[in-house]
Amino acid sequence: MYSIQNNELTSMRWTDVINRINWDSKFSRDNYIIGFVDRFEGQLEVSMNAWKKETTDEEFIPQHRVLYIRHVDGEIVWDRRRRIDKIFYSGNSAFSELAFLH
């Protein structure tokens, strides 16, 4: 899960976000794209349905190379570097979403 460290919420791990999208009926894998870094080609994207998670697959993308997950409409729903998580609202997203209440 997430915790408070140095007065900031830690973000949910990307695997938790993927699992939520996979198993929660209010989300659909068809609507999400994974952004990742390829060692040779730089930053690339693949639809969540096309993402290969088996290590034996030739097109396997290691989890540590995943940078973000975005909705097909362009909205970033999880971003490792910017600590955005709009699936669980952990990390910086928790503060951003609550900021408008003040």
Per-residue model confidence as pLDDT tens digits over 11-70? 678 889 999 999 999 999 999 999 999 999 999 999 999 988 788 888 888 889 999 999
Measured distance CA(15)–CA(2) in Å, rounded: 13
pLDDT above 50 for 3: no
Measured CA to CA in angstroms, residue 48 lies from 1, 11, 73, 95 at distances of: 22, 20, 14, 27
Per-residue model confidence as pLDDT tens digits over 66-101? 999 999 999 999 999 998 999 998 877 655 555 445
What's the pTM value of the predicted model, to 2 decimals?
A: 0.79
Q: Where are the domains of the chain?
A: 4-99
Q: What is the pLDDT of residue 13?
A: 86
